[in-house]
Amino acid sequence: MVKCTFSGEEIEPGTGMIFVTKEGKALYFKNKKCEKSYLKLKRKPITTRWSKRYIKRQ
């Protein structure tokens, strides 16, 4: 299974979304909340409390 680019959570088959940048890099998102936080709001996963990357750092 693939992990979410933002939250680090596993994405179940048949769910989630893939965003491909102009450079050809694929970004995987579990839900719209992760996609919006990463792309539109420019949040960093390390500083977002609900992401697994924040929890691992603490």
Quote the pTM value. 0.84
Which residue from 14, 11, 4, 12 is spatially nearest to 52, judged by alpha carbons?
4
Q: What is the sign of the dihedral through the CA atoms of 32, 35, 40 and 45?
A: positive
Percent of the chain scored above 70 by pLDDT? 95
Strands (E), the chain: 2-3, 10-11, 17-20, 26-29
Q: What is the pLDDT of residue 51?
A: 87
Q: Could you give the CA distance from residue 57 to residue 39 in angstroms, rounded to a whole number?
A: 22
Q: Among residues of the chain, what percentage have pLDDT more than 90?
A: 74
Count up the domains in the chain and report the number: 1
Q: What is the CATH number of the domain that holds 6?
A: 2.30.170.20
Domain boundaries, position 29: 2-57
At 13 the pLDDT is 94
Q: What is the mean pLDDT of residues 29-40?
A: 96
